[in-house]
């Protein structure tokens, strides 16, 4: 609050302090003035200071008020004095507040008005103090205006950078939510479709197995709906409510059970060590998407999952023996897995295996890279 008030009043205090303290001694050693500073001169100083109070909100008022006070002061025949401080204050203020296309003409008009007021009083040709008048006006207007334009340019550049960063963060968050929806809902639908097929196939001859598949459908659909509601709540800006904990490899046994219940044999070897959360989430989502792709596209009977520590990296491998695994390269599944791996600082490779089937291999660093000094 104090700093905000100071930004408003300091231009006025500068003009008032300099004007009230120095106007009485103005004119010593100067020629051309016809009227000693009196009450009117001080009132003009106060008027210029009052106009400067509007600099932040109404720079046009400051420009007009300061310019009019200085022109009236000079036209009245008072000696050149510290009231001229109002000129650079107004010039710099409008240059900061307005774009250059608007502030430059305004400052040119201000400079011409002050120049003409002084020139008419000093007469031509200029001599003595009057000989410095054009240079004095130029410095009083052009220099602060140039500084103001530079300040505004830098401020606008920083604002553009900030806006770009905000847009990038928003875009990254939307992409993350899109991946979450794709992984959670897409996997859920794939498992539901698989279990529904199993239930229809065994409904007449094995009601118990059909019941297991229906129960799996119910559990999977509930999880998928919960995940979708959570992400949609974030998308709608409902970020104050409780969020579902991030998925991790601790949920891998449930994932493998769902996949196996549909008839796909999955051999799994999953390392149970402590993991950074970003790596844990990325590893689980890559594993989930890779197995979902096996269900959707591979026409496979067997899959092998391996999650192991390899030096400073976590290795995630999913291999299958499907005949149509190449179809898994289509769509957004592989792209999403690569994006997740990249966000965790790792890499992902996916493609057909030389001996048949399809392979997904992700390598995720367990420690962030160390930045070396140049």
Q: Does position 319 have pLDDT exceeding 90, yes or no? A: yes
| For the chain, percent of residues with pLDDT exceeding 90 | 29
Q: Are residues 11 and 105 in the same domain?
A: yes
pLDDT band at 125 (very low <50, low <70, confident <90, very high): very low
Cα separation, 346 vs 132, in Å, equals 68
SS (H, E, C) the chain: CHHHHHHHHHHHHHHHHHHHHHHHHCCCCCCCCCCCCCHHHHHHHHHHHHHHCCCCCCHHHHHHHHHHHHHHHHHCCCCCCHHHHHHHHHHHHHHHHCCHHHHHHHHHHHHHHHHHHHHHHHCCCCCHHHHHHHHHHHHHHHHHHHHHHHHHHHHHHHHHHHHHHHHHHHHHHHHHHHHHHHHHHHHHHHHHHHHHHHHHHHCCCCHHHHHHHHHHHHHHHHHHHHHHHHHHHHHCCCCCCCCCCCCCHHHHHHHHHHHHHCCCEEEEEECCCCCCHHHHHHHHHHHHHHHHHHHHHHCCCEEEEEEEEECCEEEEEEEECCCCHHHHHCCCHHHHHHHHHHHCCCEEEEEECCCCCEEEEEEEECCCCCCCCC
Q: Are residues 359 and 254 in the same domain?
A: yes
Q: Of 134, 164, 194, which closes a domain?
A: 164
Residue 65 inside a domain? The answer is yes
Q: Are residues 295 and 156 in the same domain?
A: no
State pLDDT tens for residues 192-209: 776 777 778 777 788 887
pLDDT for 23: 80
Average pLDDT over residues 84-90: 91
Q: Which residue has the higher pLDDT, 47 or 36?
A: 47
Cα separation, 74 vs 27, in Å, equals 12
Residue 78 inside a domain? The answer is yes
C-beta atoms surrounding 208 within 10 Å: 8
Going 11 to 19 to 69 to 115, the CA torsion angle's sign is negative
pLDDT for 237: 61
Average pLDDT over residues 299-303: 85
State pLDDT tens for residues 324-357: 444 444 456 788 889 889 989 999 999 998 878 8
Q: Does position 33 have pLDDT exceeding 70, yes or no? A: no
Q: Are residues 160 and 255 in the same domain?
A: no
| Backbone region of residue 128 per phi and psi (left: phi > 0; alpha: psi in -120 to 50; beta: other values) | left
Residue 272 inside a domain? The answer is yes
Tokens of 16: 């008032």
Q: Among 90-99, 140-149, 225-234, 243-252, which stretch is predicted with the lowest mean pLDDT?
A: 225-234
CATH of the domain at 360: 3.30.565.10
pLDDT for 238: 60
Tally of domains in the chain = 2
pLDDT band at 12 (very low <50, low <70, confident <90, very high): confident
Q: Does position 8 have pLDDT exceeding 60, yes or no? A: yes
Q: Of 119, 138, 164, which closes a domain?
A: 164
State pLDDT tens for residues 145-178: 999 999 999 999 988 888 888 778 767 766 766 7
Range of the domain at 69: 2-164
pLDDT band at 128 (very low <50, low <70, confident <90, very high): very low
pLDDT for 341: 92
Q: Are residues 158 and 268 in the same domain?
A: no
pTM: 0.54
Q: Are residues 17 and 118 in the same domain?
A: yes
pLDDT for 348: 95
Q: Are residues 124 and 273 in the same domain?
A: no
pLDDT for 360: 94
pLDDT for 116: 86
Q: Of 135, 164, 193, which closes a domain?
A: 164
pLDDT for 364: 95
Cα–Cα distance list, 2 to 219, 246, 300, 305 (Å): 59, 44, 71, 63
Q: Which residue has the higher pLDDT, 22 or 282?
A: 282
């Amino acid at each position: 609050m104090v700093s905000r008030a100071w930004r408003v009043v300091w231009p006025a205090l500068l003009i008032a302090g300099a004007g009230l303290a120095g106007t009485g001694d103005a004119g010593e050693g100067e020629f051309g003035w016809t009227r000693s500073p009196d009450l009117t001169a001080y009132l003009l100083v106060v008027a210029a200071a009052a106009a400067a109070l509007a600099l932040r909100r109404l720079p046009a008022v400051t420009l007009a008020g300061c310019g009019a006070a200085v022109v009236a002061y000079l036209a009245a025949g008072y000696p050149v004095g510290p009231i001229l401080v109002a000129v650079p204050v107004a010039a710099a203020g409008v240059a900061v507040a307005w774009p250059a296309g608007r502030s430059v003409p305004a400052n040119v008009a201000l400079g011409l008005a002050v120049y003409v007021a002084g020139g008419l009083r000093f007469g031509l040709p200029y001599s003595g103090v009057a000989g410095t008048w054009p240079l004095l006006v130029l410095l009083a207007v052009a220099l602060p205006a140039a500084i103001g334009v530079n300040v505004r340019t830098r401020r606008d550049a920083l604002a553009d950078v900030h806006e770009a960063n905000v847009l990038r963060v928003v875009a990254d968050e939307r992409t993350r939510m899109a991946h979450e929806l794709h992984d959670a809902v897409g996997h859920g639908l794939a498992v539901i479709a698989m279990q529904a097929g199993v239930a229809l196939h065994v409904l007449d001859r094995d009601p118990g197995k059909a019941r297991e598949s229906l129960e799996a459908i119910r559990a999977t659909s509930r999880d998928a709906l919960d995940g979708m509601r959570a992400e949609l709540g974030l998308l709608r800006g409902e970020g104050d409510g409780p969020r579902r904990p991030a998925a991790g490899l601790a949920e891998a046994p449930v994932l493998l059970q769902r996949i196996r219940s549909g008839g796909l044999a999955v051999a799994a070897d999953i390392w149970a060590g402590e993991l950074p959360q970003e790596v844990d989430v990325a590893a689980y989502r890559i594993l989930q998407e890779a197995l979902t792709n096996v269900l959707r596209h591979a026409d496979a009977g067997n899959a092998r999952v391996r999650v192991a520590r390899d030096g400073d990296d976590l290795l995630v491998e999913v291999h299958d023996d499907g005949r149509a695994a190449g179809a898994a390269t289509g769509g957004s599944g592989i792209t999403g897995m690569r994006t997740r791996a990249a966000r965790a600082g790792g890499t992902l490779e996916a493609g057909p295996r030389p001996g048949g089937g399809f392979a997904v291999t992700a390598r995720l660093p367990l420690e962030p890279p160390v930045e070396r000094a140049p």
